[in-house]
Chain A
Amino acid sequence: MIKTDILIIGAGPTGLFAVFEAGLLQLKCHLIDALPQAGGQCSEIYPKKPIYDIPGYPEVLAGELVDNLMEQIKPFQPGFTLGERAETIDKLEDGTFVVTTNKGTKHHAPVVAIAGGLGSFEPRKPLLDNLAKYEDNGVAYMIKEPEMYRGKKVLIAGGGDSALDWSIFLADIADEVTLVHRRNEFRGALDSVEKVQHLKNEGKINLMTPSEVVALHGENALEKVTVQNVDTSEETEVEVDHFIPLFGLSPKLGPIADWGLEIEKNAIKVDNSYDYQTNIPGIYAIGDVNTYPGKLKLILCGFHEATLMCQSAYQRIFPDKKYVMKYTTVGGVTGFDGTKKEAPKAVVKSID
Protein backbone atom coordinates (compact mmCIF):
# COMPACT_ATOMS: atom_id res chain seq x y z
CA MET A 1 0.00 0.00 0.00
CA ILE A 2 1.40 3.38 -1.06
CA LYS A 3 0.85 6.02 1.63
CA THR A 4 0.94 9.76 1.05
CA ASP A 5 -0.63 13.02 2.23
CA ILE A 6 -2.29 14.13 -1.00
CA LEU A 7 -3.05 11.54 -3.64
CA ILE A 8 -3.25 13.32 -6.99
CA ILE A 9 -5.07 11.62 -9.83
CA GLY A 10 -3.63 12.94 -13.08
CA ALA A 11 -0.04 14.00 -13.70
CA GLY A 12 -0.73 16.89 -16.06
CA PRO A 13 0.48 20.44 -15.38
CA THR A 14 -2.15 21.08 -12.68
CA GLY A 15 -1.39 17.86 -10.80
CA LEU A 16 2.36 18.47 -11.05
CA PHE A 17 2.12 22.02 -9.75
CA ALA A 18 -0.03 20.82 -6.83
CA VAL A 19 3.05 18.85 -5.69
CA PHE A 20 4.98 22.11 -5.37
CA GLU A 21 2.29 23.94 -3.41
CA ALA A 22 1.79 20.92 -1.16
CA GLY A 23 5.54 20.68 -0.63
CA LEU A 24 5.68 24.24 0.66
CA LEU A 25 3.24 23.05 3.34
CA GLN A 26 5.41 19.98 4.04
CA LEU A 27 2.76 17.70 2.53
CA LYS A 28 3.88 14.74 0.42
CA CYS A 29 2.20 13.82 -2.85
CA HIS A 30 1.82 10.75 -5.00
CA LEU A 31 0.43 10.90 -8.54
CA ILE A 32 -1.46 8.29 -10.55
CA ASP A 33 -1.73 8.59 -14.32
CA ALA A 34 -3.04 6.22 -16.99
CA LEU A 35 -0.37 7.39 -19.41
CA PRO A 36 3.15 5.98 -19.15
CA GLN A 37 4.68 9.46 -18.74
CA ALA A 38 3.92 12.62 -16.76
CA GLY A 39 2.56 15.75 -18.44
CA GLY A 40 -0.98 14.76 -19.43
CA GLN A 41 -2.28 16.36 -22.62
CA CYS A 42 0.85 18.53 -22.84
CA SER A 43 3.02 15.45 -23.33
CA GLU A 44 0.53 13.20 -25.07
CA ILE A 45 -1.29 15.48 -27.50
CA TYR A 46 0.80 18.55 -28.20
CA PRO A 47 4.34 18.45 -26.72
CA LYS A 48 5.78 20.46 -29.63
CA LYS A 49 3.08 23.16 -29.66
CA PRO A 50 3.68 26.55 -28.10
CA ILE A 51 1.57 27.98 -25.26
CA TYR A 52 1.40 31.77 -24.96
CA ASP A 53 -0.64 32.33 -21.81
CA ILE A 54 1.51 30.92 -19.01
CA PRO A 55 2.20 33.98 -16.85
CA GLY A 56 5.83 35.00 -17.15
CA TYR A 57 6.47 32.90 -20.25
CA PRO A 58 5.86 34.85 -23.49
CA GLU A 59 6.11 31.48 -25.23
CA VAL A 60 6.78 27.96 -23.97
CA LEU A 61 6.42 24.58 -25.64
CA ALA A 62 3.97 22.30 -23.85
CA GLY A 63 6.65 19.64 -23.44
CA GLU A 64 9.07 22.22 -22.09
CA LEU A 65 6.51 23.40 -19.54
CA VAL A 66 6.19 19.83 -18.28
CA ASP A 67 9.99 19.48 -18.04
CA ASN A 68 10.14 22.72 -16.05
CA LEU A 69 7.37 21.62 -13.70
CA MET A 70 9.13 18.30 -13.11
CA GLU A 71 12.30 20.23 -12.26
CA GLN A 72 10.37 22.59 -9.96
CA ILE A 73 8.77 19.76 -7.95
CA LYS A 74 11.86 17.52 -7.81
CA PRO A 75 12.85 18.62 -4.26
CA PHE A 76 9.46 17.40 -3.01
CA GLN A 77 10.11 13.85 -4.23
CA PRO A 78 6.66 13.00 -5.58
CA GLY A 79 5.82 9.35 -6.10
CA PHE A 80 4.34 8.19 -9.40
CA THR A 81 2.10 5.29 -10.38
CA LEU A 82 2.21 5.63 -14.18
CA GLY A 83 0.48 3.55 -16.83
CA GLU A 84 -2.31 2.66 -14.40
CA ARG A 85 -5.81 4.07 -14.24
CA ALA A 86 -7.46 4.99 -10.93
CA GLU A 87 -10.39 2.63 -10.81
CA THR A 88 -12.11 2.61 -7.41
CA ILE A 89 -12.17 4.73 -4.28
CA ASP A 90 -13.09 3.56 -0.79
CA LYS A 91 -13.64 5.85 2.16
CA LEU A 92 -12.37 4.30 5.38
CA GLU A 93 -13.95 4.82 8.79
CA ASP A 94 -11.36 7.41 9.79
CA GLY A 95 -12.31 9.52 6.74
CA THR A 96 -9.22 8.63 4.72
CA PHE A 97 -9.32 7.12 1.24
CA VAL A 98 -7.96 4.08 -0.55
CA VAL A 99 -7.70 4.42 -4.32
CA THR A 100 -7.06 1.25 -6.32
CA THR A 101 -5.84 1.21 -9.92
CA ASN A 102 -6.86 -1.13 -12.73
CA LYS A 103 -3.71 -3.11 -11.97
CA GLY A 104 -4.57 -3.45 -8.30
CA THR A 105 -2.07 -0.94 -6.90
CA LYS A 106 -3.50 0.53 -3.69
CA HIS A 107 -2.92 4.09 -2.49
CA HIS A 108 -3.89 5.41 0.93
CA ALA A 109 -4.25 9.15 1.67
CA PRO A 110 -6.31 11.52 3.81
CA VAL A 111 -6.87 13.79 0.78
CA VAL A 112 -7.55 12.95 -2.87
CA ALA A 113 -7.14 15.64 -5.53
CA ILE A 114 -8.54 14.74 -8.92
CA ALA A 115 -6.55 16.59 -11.57
CA GLY A 116 -7.76 14.31 -14.31
CA GLY A 117 -8.05 16.80 -17.17
CA LEU A 118 -10.18 15.35 -19.93
CA GLY A 119 -10.09 11.92 -18.31
CA SER A 120 -7.81 8.98 -18.86
CA PHE A 121 -6.54 8.35 -22.35
CA GLU A 122 -7.97 5.17 -23.83
CA PRO A 123 -7.10 3.66 -27.22
CA ARG A 124 -9.50 4.57 -30.02
CA LYS A 125 -11.10 1.40 -31.29
CA PRO A 126 -12.14 0.87 -34.90
CA LEU A 127 -15.84 0.40 -35.58
CA LEU A 128 -15.96 -3.30 -36.38
CA ASP A 129 -18.88 -5.56 -35.49
CA ASN A 130 -17.22 -8.43 -33.67
CA LEU A 131 -14.20 -6.52 -32.37
CA ALA A 132 -14.86 -7.28 -28.70
CA LYS A 133 -14.96 -11.02 -29.40
CA TYR A 134 -11.32 -11.02 -30.47
CA GLU A 135 -9.95 -8.64 -27.84
CA ASP A 136 -7.07 -10.48 -26.15
CA ASN A 137 -7.74 -13.20 -28.71
CA GLY A 138 -5.84 -11.68 -31.57
CA VAL A 139 -6.81 -8.02 -31.28
CA ALA A 140 -4.75 -5.66 -29.11
CA TYR A 141 -4.60 -1.86 -28.98
CA MET A 142 -1.10 -1.54 -27.64
CA ILE A 143 2.03 -3.62 -27.82
CA LYS A 144 3.22 -4.66 -24.39
CA GLU A 145 5.49 -7.63 -25.10
CA PRO A 146 6.88 -7.54 -28.64
CA GLU A 147 8.24 -11.07 -28.15
CA MET A 148 4.75 -12.55 -28.28
CA TYR A 149 4.64 -11.63 -31.98
CA ARG A 150 7.73 -13.69 -32.83
CA GLY A 151 7.03 -15.88 -35.84
CA LYS A 152 3.44 -14.62 -36.07
CA LYS A 153 1.47 -12.90 -38.82
CA VAL A 154 0.72 -9.36 -37.65
CA LEU A 155 -1.46 -6.69 -39.24
CA ILE A 156 -1.10 -3.13 -37.98
CA ALA A 157 -3.57 -0.39 -38.92
CA GLY A 158 -2.94 3.33 -38.57
CA GLY A 159 -1.04 6.18 -40.17
CA GLY A 160 0.82 7.84 -37.32
CA ASP A 161 4.11 7.41 -35.57
CA SER A 162 3.13 4.43 -33.46
CA ALA A 163 1.85 2.46 -36.46
CA LEU A 164 5.08 3.21 -38.36
CA ASP A 165 7.43 2.57 -35.45
CA TRP A 166 5.85 -0.73 -34.45
CA SER A 167 5.75 -1.94 -38.07
CA ILE A 168 9.47 -1.26 -38.30
CA PHE A 169 10.18 -2.92 -34.96
CA LEU A 170 8.06 -6.01 -35.62
CA ALA A 171 9.45 -6.44 -39.15
CA ASP A 172 12.44 -8.13 -37.51
CA ILE A 173 10.44 -10.23 -35.08
CA ALA A 174 7.20 -11.29 -36.72
CA ASP A 175 6.89 -13.73 -39.58
CA GLU A 176 4.80 -11.28 -41.60
CA VAL A 177 3.98 -7.62 -41.02
CA THR A 178 1.18 -5.92 -42.94
CA LEU A 179 0.57 -2.20 -42.52
CA VAL A 180 -2.85 -0.91 -43.50
CA HIS A 181 -3.70 2.80 -43.73
CA ARG A 182 -6.61 4.70 -45.21
CA ARG A 183 -4.33 7.06 -47.13
CA ASN A 184 -1.11 6.75 -49.08
CA GLU A 185 0.44 9.46 -46.91
CA PHE A 186 1.64 8.78 -43.41
CA ARG A 187 1.90 11.33 -40.64
CA GLY A 188 5.09 10.55 -38.78
CA ALA A 189 8.74 11.36 -38.41
CA LEU A 190 10.35 11.51 -41.85
CA ASP A 191 12.93 8.98 -40.76
CA SER A 192 10.23 6.41 -39.88
CA VAL A 193 8.38 6.95 -43.15
CA GLU A 194 11.60 6.35 -45.08
CA LYS A 195 12.39 3.21 -43.08
CA VAL A 196 8.97 1.74 -43.82
CA GLN A 197 9.49 2.56 -47.50
CA HIS A 198 12.82 0.73 -47.36
CA LEU A 199 11.35 -2.31 -45.58
CA LYS A 200 8.50 -2.39 -48.07
CA ASN A 201 10.98 -2.42 -50.96
CA GLU A 202 12.84 -5.25 -49.27
CA GLY A 203 9.59 -7.18 -48.93
CA LYS A 204 9.69 -7.13 -45.13
CA ILE A 205 6.56 -5.07 -44.74
CA ASN A 206 3.46 -5.65 -46.79
CA LEU A 207 1.95 -2.19 -47.27
CA MET A 208 -1.75 -1.88 -48.10
CA THR A 209 -2.88 1.68 -48.87
CA PRO A 210 -5.28 3.35 -49.23
CA SER A 211 -7.14 0.63 -47.40
CA GLU A 212 -8.93 -0.22 -44.21
CA VAL A 213 -9.86 -3.31 -42.27
CA VAL A 214 -13.59 -3.86 -42.67
CA ALA A 215 -14.20 -7.31 -41.15
CA LEU A 216 -12.67 -9.81 -38.75
CA HIS A 217 -13.00 -13.57 -39.04
CA GLY A 218 -12.14 -16.59 -36.90
CA GLU A 219 -13.83 -19.39 -34.99
CA ASN A 220 -12.56 -18.55 -31.51
CA ALA A 221 -9.40 -16.59 -32.06
CA LEU A 222 -8.71 -14.18 -34.92
CA GLU A 223 -7.69 -15.99 -38.12
CA LYS A 224 -8.36 -13.62 -40.99
CA VAL A 225 -9.29 -10.01 -41.74
CA THR A 226 -10.90 -8.41 -44.74
CA VAL A 227 -9.07 -5.38 -46.06
CA GLN A 228 -10.91 -3.06 -48.42
CA ASN A 229 -9.22 -0.68 -50.83
CA VAL A 230 -10.72 2.76 -50.19
CA ASP A 231 -10.51 3.84 -53.85
CA THR A 232 -11.58 0.69 -55.67
CA SER A 233 -13.65 -1.01 -52.91
CA GLU A 234 -11.80 -4.18 -53.85
CA GLU A 235 -11.63 -6.60 -50.91
CA THR A 236 -8.66 -8.78 -49.95
CA GLU A 237 -8.60 -11.42 -47.25
CA VAL A 238 -5.42 -11.51 -45.19
CA GLU A 239 -4.55 -14.38 -42.87
CA VAL A 240 -3.36 -12.99 -39.54
CA ASP A 241 -2.69 -14.08 -35.98
CA HIS A 242 -2.78 -10.54 -34.62
CA PHE A 243 -4.57 -7.33 -35.58
CA ILE A 244 -3.24 -4.21 -33.87
CA PRO A 245 -5.22 -1.03 -34.62
CA LEU A 246 -3.15 2.00 -33.59
CA PHE A 247 -5.54 4.93 -34.02
CA GLY A 248 -4.26 7.07 -31.17
CA LEU A 249 -5.85 7.76 -27.82
CA SER A 250 -8.94 9.63 -26.81
CA PRO A 251 -9.78 10.83 -23.31
CA LYS A 252 -12.64 9.36 -21.28
CA LEU A 253 -13.74 10.49 -17.83
CA GLY A 254 -13.89 6.76 -17.10
CA PRO A 255 -14.37 5.16 -13.68
CA ILE A 256 -14.15 8.52 -11.85
CA ALA A 257 -17.64 9.19 -13.18
CA ASP A 258 -18.89 6.40 -10.87
CA TRP A 259 -17.32 7.65 -7.65
CA GLY A 260 -20.49 9.39 -6.45
CA LEU A 261 -19.22 12.83 -7.41
CA GLU A 262 -21.58 15.43 -8.80
CA ILE A 263 -20.97 15.58 -12.54
CA GLU A 264 -22.09 18.34 -14.89
CA LYS A 265 -21.09 18.77 -18.53
CA ASN A 266 -18.65 15.84 -18.31
CA ALA A 267 -16.80 17.57 -15.47
CA ILE A 268 -16.83 17.40 -11.66
CA LYS A 269 -18.70 20.14 -9.80
CA VAL A 270 -16.66 21.89 -7.12
CA ASP A 271 -16.98 24.73 -4.65
CA ASN A 272 -15.17 27.55 -6.42
CA SER A 273 -16.00 30.08 -3.74
CA TYR A 274 -13.52 28.38 -1.41
CA ASP A 275 -11.31 25.37 -2.00
CA TYR A 276 -12.38 23.37 -5.08
CA GLN A 277 -13.72 20.55 -2.94
CA THR A 278 -16.29 18.20 -4.46
CA ASN A 279 -19.53 17.04 -2.88
CA ILE A 280 -17.48 14.38 -1.05
CA PRO A 281 -15.42 16.05 1.71
CA GLY A 282 -11.74 15.26 1.30
CA ILE A 283 -11.99 14.80 -2.47
CA TYR A 284 -11.02 17.85 -4.49
CA ALA A 285 -11.10 18.40 -8.25
CA ILE A 286 -8.71 20.85 -9.89
CA GLY A 287 -7.84 21.87 -13.45
CA ASP A 288 -9.74 20.95 -16.60
CA VAL A 289 -11.64 18.13 -14.87
CA ASN A 290 -13.74 20.44 -12.69
CA THR A 291 -16.55 22.84 -13.42
CA TYR A 292 -18.12 25.85 -11.71
CA PRO A 293 -19.79 29.03 -12.92
CA GLY A 294 -17.37 30.84 -15.21
CA LYS A 295 -14.92 27.92 -15.41
CA LEU A 296 -12.14 28.28 -17.97
CA LYS A 297 -10.06 25.27 -18.94
CA LEU A 298 -6.72 27.02 -18.80
CA ILE A 299 -3.47 25.75 -17.31
CA LEU A 300 -3.06 29.00 -15.41
CA CYS A 301 -6.46 28.52 -13.77
CA GLY A 302 -5.46 24.97 -12.79
CA PHE A 303 -2.36 26.34 -11.04
CA HIS A 304 -4.49 28.69 -8.97
CA GLU A 305 -6.97 25.96 -8.10
CA ALA A 306 -4.14 23.63 -7.06
CA THR A 307 -2.76 26.28 -4.72
CA LEU A 308 -6.05 26.87 -2.90
CA MET A 309 -6.73 23.12 -2.77
CA CYS A 310 -3.44 22.55 -0.92
CA GLN A 311 -4.27 25.15 1.73
CA SER A 312 -7.60 23.45 2.37
CA ALA A 313 -5.98 20.00 2.36
CA TYR A 314 -3.52 21.19 5.01
CA GLN A 315 -6.38 22.35 7.23
CA ARG A 316 -8.12 19.03 6.74
CA ILE A 317 -5.04 16.99 7.61
CA PHE A 318 -3.98 19.23 10.54
CA PRO A 319 -7.22 20.79 11.84
CA ASP A 320 -5.51 22.10 14.99
CA LYS A 321 -2.40 23.59 13.46
CA LYS A 322 -2.13 27.30 12.88
CA TYR A 323 -0.55 28.35 9.63
CA VAL A 324 -0.12 31.46 7.51
CA MET A 325 1.05 31.44 3.93
CA LYS A 326 4.68 32.40 3.49
CA TYR A 327 6.19 33.81 0.29
CA THR A 328 8.88 31.60 -1.28
CA THR A 329 11.01 34.73 -1.59
CA VAL A 330 10.90 35.04 2.21
CA GLY A 331 10.87 31.42 3.30
CA GLY A 332 12.79 29.82 0.45
CA VAL A 333 12.04 26.29 -0.68
CA THR A 334 13.13 23.42 1.54
CA GLY A 335 12.91 20.10 -0.26
CA PHE A 336 12.27 16.72 1.31
CA ASP A 337 15.55 15.70 -0.29
CA GLY A 338 17.50 18.03 1.98
CA THR A 339 17.99 20.77 -0.64
CA LYS A 340 17.27 24.36 0.24
CA LYS A 341 16.77 27.24 -2.10
CA GLU A 342 16.55 30.75 -0.70
CA ALA A 343 17.02 34.36 -1.62
CA PRO A 344 20.61 35.50 -1.10
CA LYS A 345 21.01 37.57 2.04
CA ALA A 346 21.70 41.24 1.58
CA VAL A 347 25.15 42.24 2.73
CA VAL A 348 25.38 44.80 5.50
CA LYS A 349 28.76 46.44 5.21
CA SER A 350 29.99 49.97 5.38
CA ILE A 351 31.75 51.55 2.43
CA ASP A 352 35.01 53.21 3.36
Chain B
Amino acid sequence: MSDIKLKIIDREGVLHEVDAPTDMNMNLMEVVRSYELAPEGTIGICGGMAMCASCQCYVLSDHQLPEKSDDEEAMLSEAFFVKDNSRLGCQIHMTDDLDGLEVELAPAED
Protein backbone atom coordinates (compact mmCIF):
# COMPACT_ATOMS: atom_id res chain seq x y z
CA MET B 1 0.00 0.00 0.00
CA SER B 2 1.77 3.11 -1.15
CA ASP B 3 -1.05 5.49 -2.05
CA ILE B 4 -2.99 7.71 0.33
CA LYS B 5 -6.13 9.74 -0.35
CA LEU B 6 -6.12 13.51 -0.04
CA LYS B 7 -8.85 16.12 -0.31
CA ILE B 8 -7.57 19.35 -1.82
CA ILE B 9 -9.69 22.46 -2.32
CA ASP B 10 -8.16 24.53 -5.11
CA ARG B 11 -8.04 28.34 -5.30
CA GLU B 12 -11.39 28.41 -7.09
CA GLY B 13 -12.99 26.52 -4.22
CA VAL B 14 -13.31 23.23 -6.11
CA LEU B 15 -12.75 20.04 -4.11
CA HIS B 16 -10.47 17.40 -5.62
CA GLU B 17 -10.03 13.92 -4.19
CA VAL B 18 -6.68 12.60 -5.29
CA ASP B 19 -4.35 9.69 -4.68
CA ALA B 20 -0.86 10.54 -3.57
CA PRO B 21 2.05 8.09 -3.53
CA THR B 22 4.05 7.81 -0.32
CA ASP B 23 7.02 6.06 -1.92
CA MET B 24 8.07 8.77 -4.38
CA ASN B 25 9.58 11.27 -1.93
CA MET B 26 6.80 13.70 -2.83
CA ASN B 27 5.47 16.62 -0.84
CA LEU B 28 2.02 18.21 -0.92
CA MET B 29 3.11 21.02 -3.26
CA GLU B 30 4.35 18.47 -5.77
CA VAL B 31 1.14 16.46 -5.51
CA VAL B 32 -0.84 19.64 -6.31
CA ARG B 33 1.41 20.32 -9.30
CA SER B 34 1.25 16.74 -10.55
CA TYR B 35 -2.54 16.99 -10.72
CA GLU B 36 -2.29 20.57 -12.07
CA LEU B 37 -4.67 21.87 -9.40
CA ALA B 38 -3.06 25.32 -9.66
CA PRO B 39 -1.58 26.86 -12.82
CA GLU B 40 2.14 26.29 -13.43
CA GLY B 41 4.13 29.28 -12.29
CA THR B 42 1.72 30.09 -9.46
CA ILE B 43 2.75 27.31 -7.08
CA GLY B 44 6.11 25.94 -6.01
CA ILE B 45 7.94 28.91 -7.47
CA CYS B 46 11.09 28.41 -5.39
CA GLY B 47 11.00 24.70 -6.14
CA GLY B 48 10.27 23.57 -2.60
CA MET B 49 12.94 25.32 -0.52
CA ALA B 50 10.48 27.09 1.81
CA MET B 51 11.73 30.30 0.26
CA CYS B 52 8.46 31.53 -1.20
CA ALA B 53 4.93 31.06 0.06
CA SER B 54 3.29 30.12 -3.23
CA CYS B 55 2.36 26.67 -1.92
CA GLN B 56 0.75 27.95 1.29
CA CYS B 57 -2.32 25.95 2.27
CA TYR B 58 -4.74 25.73 5.17
CA VAL B 59 -4.94 22.37 6.90
CA LEU B 60 -8.62 21.55 7.47
CA SER B 61 -8.47 18.04 8.95
CA ASP B 62 -7.01 17.35 12.38
CA HIS B 63 -4.05 15.27 11.25
CA GLN B 64 -0.93 15.43 13.34
CA LEU B 65 1.59 17.13 11.07
CA PRO B 66 5.33 17.36 11.66
CA GLU B 67 6.47 20.54 13.44
CA LYS B 68 7.35 23.54 11.28
CA SER B 69 11.03 24.02 10.64
CA ASP B 70 12.61 27.41 11.35
CA ASP B 71 12.64 28.14 7.63
CA GLU B 72 8.95 27.38 7.24
CA GLU B 73 8.07 29.38 10.34
CA ALA B 74 10.09 32.36 9.07
CA MET B 75 8.56 32.22 5.59
CA LEU B 76 5.03 32.02 6.95
CA SER B 77 5.74 35.03 9.13
CA GLU B 78 6.30 37.08 5.97
CA ALA B 79 3.61 35.51 3.79
CA PHE B 80 0.20 37.02 3.18
CA PHE B 81 -3.24 35.52 3.99
CA VAL B 82 -1.65 33.54 6.83
CA LYS B 83 -3.98 31.80 9.29
CA ASP B 84 -3.34 29.64 12.35
CA ASN B 85 -3.67 26.51 10.22
CA SER B 86 -1.35 27.71 7.45
CA ARG B 87 1.44 25.44 6.26
CA LEU B 88 3.76 25.38 3.29
CA GLY B 89 2.79 22.44 1.08
CA CYS B 90 6.41 21.82 0.09
CA GLN B 91 7.26 21.01 3.71
CA ILE B 92 4.55 18.36 4.12
CA HIS B 93 5.86 15.00 2.97
CA MET B 94 3.47 12.29 1.93
CA THR B 95 3.43 9.59 4.57
CA ASP B 96 0.92 6.85 5.38
CA ASP B 97 -0.42 8.65 8.46
CA LEU B 98 -1.55 11.57 6.27
CA ASP B 99 -4.24 9.39 4.65
CA GLY B 100 -7.43 11.44 4.48
CA LEU B 101 -5.66 14.79 4.87
CA GLU B 102 -7.82 17.72 3.83
CA VAL B 103 -6.30 21.04 2.79
CA GLU B 104 -7.29 24.23 1.03
CA LEU B 105 -4.84 26.18 -1.14
CA ALA B 106 -4.28 29.75 0.05
CA PRO B 107 -4.90 32.49 -2.53
CA ALA B 108 -2.09 33.39 -4.90
CA GLU B 109 -0.29 36.58 -3.88
CA ASP B 110 -1.67 38.61 -6.76
List chain A positions with a Cβ less than 8 A from chain B. Answer: 45-46, 49, 118, 124, 126-127, 158-160, 181-183, 185, 187, 247-248, 250-253, 265-267, 291
Find B77's partner among A181, A250, A253 (CB 8 Å cutoff).
Answer: A181
Q: Is the beta-carbon distance between B51 and A45 smaller than 8 angstroms?
A: yes
Known: A253-B41, A266-B40. A248 touches B49 (CB 8 A): no
A188: nearest residue on chain B (CB-CB)? Answer: B74
List chain B positions with a Cβ less than 8 A from chain A. Answer: 39-42, 45-46, 49, 51-52, 70, 73-74, 77-78, 80-81, 109-110
Contacts of B52 in A (CB 8 A): 45, 250
Closest 3 CB pairs of A and B: A266-B41, A265-B40, A187-B74
In the assembled complex, the CB of B12 is this many whole angstroms from the nearest CB of chain A, namely 17
Chain B interface SS verdict (over half): loop
In the assembled complex, the CB of B102 is this many whole angstroms from the nearest CB of chain A, namely 26
Contacts of B42 in A (CB 8 A): 266
In the assembled complex, the CB of A214 is this many whole angstroms from the nearest CB of chain B, namely 13
Question: A69 to B39, alpha carbons, bound, how many Å?
Answer: 32
Known: A49-B49, A250-B52, A250-B109. A265 touches B41 (CB 8 A): yes
Chain A interface SS verdict (over half): loop
B51: nearest residue on chain A (CB-CB)? Answer: A45
Supplied contacts A45-B46, A251-B45, A252-B110, 7 more A-B pairs, CB within 8 Å: A124-B78, A185-B74, A187-B74, A250-B45, A265-B41, A266-B41, A266-B42
Can you list 23 A-B contacts with CB-CB less than 8 angstroms, sorted by A residue number? A45-B51, A45-B52, A46-B46, A46-B49, A46-B51, A118-B41, A124-B78, A124-B109, A158-B78, A159-B78, A181-B77, A182-B77, A187-B70, A187-B74, A247-B78, A248-B78, A252-B110, A253-B41, A265-B39, A265-B40, A266-B41, A266-B42, A267-B40
Q: Is the beta-carbon distance between A118 and B45 smaller than 8 angstroms?
A: yes
Known: A45-B46, A126-B80. A267 touches B109 (CB 8 A): no
Question: A35 to B59, alpha carbons, bound, how many Å?
Answer: 35
Contacts of B81 in A (CB 8 A): 127
Contacts of A266 in B (CB 8 A): 39-42
Contacts of B78 in A (CB 8 A): 124, 158-160, 182, 247-248
Q: Is the beta-carbon distance between A267 and B49 smaller than 8 angstroms?
A: no
Question: A265 to B36, alpha carbons, bound, how many Å?
Answer: 10
Q: Is the beta-carbon distance between A127 and B74 smaller than 8 angstroms?
A: no
In the assembled complex, the CB of B110 is this many whole angstroms from the nearest CB of chain A, namely 8
